[in-house]
Amino acid sequence: MRDAEGMREKVQVSLEGRQIAALSVGALLLLCSVFALGLALGRRLSQEPPRPAELTALDAQAAEPAPQKPAQAAEPAPQKPAQVVRPTRPTPAAETSLADTKKGAVAIVPPPPREPLVVPPPAQRSSGPVSLTPPPRDIGAYTVQIGASPDRAEALRLENRARAAGYKPYSVEANLGAKGTWYRVRVGSFPDKDRALRYRSDVERELRQAAIVMASH
């Protein structure tokens, strides 16, 4: 008896499990059907053509002209002053060539004459002796000598240098025998040696070279 009751309970439990599974499958199918129906309805509504009233409103909006912006007045371009072109008068040779061209002849215009090339003659150097400044008449007992050279041109250069510094130089010729003639360039004239020594210091400072005090004779 107990075995039979146990079998009945097992059968009832198995039947209840099958019913629950069947109900779950049915509910799932129902949900899928509702979802598919809603999706199809949404597509149909999205593809539905617009109503006549909506079409009329869209046509009215398309027919309205777009607002135009006010045209800005273009600034006038600056005008350049008119250039006066003066007619050039043709030369006699050009008039002749034009006349010959009208007649059918070939005009040959001669080239303008060339001016002769003038070449200046080369500068000639003076072959004469270079003039030096002679000593003064009232020469004192002592003087300051700024240099000596056997070349007259070098002596003249020493004179010009001293003259540019504000002195009054002069040159004295000295015959030294076998050494030849030397030209001694000197400045100043003093009665005693002390004044000549003080003057020599000024000369050396101005000319920036050594000088010596010598007797004038």
Could you read off the pLDDT of 128-185 as tens digits, one per residue?
556 899 998 888 899 999 999 999 999 999 999 999 999 999 999 999 999 999 999 9
Sorting pLDDT into bands at 50, 70 and 90, what band is 33? confident
Model-level pTM? 0.42
Cα three-residue angle 193-198-202, rounded to 5 degrees: 135
Tokens 């003249």 correspond to what residue?
156
Greater pLDDT, 207 or 8:
207
For residues 172-201, average pLDDT: 93
Return the pLDDT at 126: 46
Sorting pLDDT into bands at 50, 70 and 90, what band is 68? low
Q: Is the pLDDT of residue 216 over 60?
A: yes
Task: Tell the burial category of 183 from Cβ atoms under 10 Å away from its Cβ (0-12, 13-18, 19+).
Answer: buried
Return the pLDDT at 191: 93
For residues 205-210, average pLDDT: 92
Q: Is the pLDDT of residue 124 over 90?
A: no
Q: Is the pLDDT of residue 190 over 70?
A: yes
Sorting pLDDT into bands at 50, 70 and 90, what band is 217? confident
| List of residues 6+ apart from 172 with CB closer than 8 A | 135, 183, 184, 186
The rounded percent of the chain whose pLDDT value lies above 90 is 35
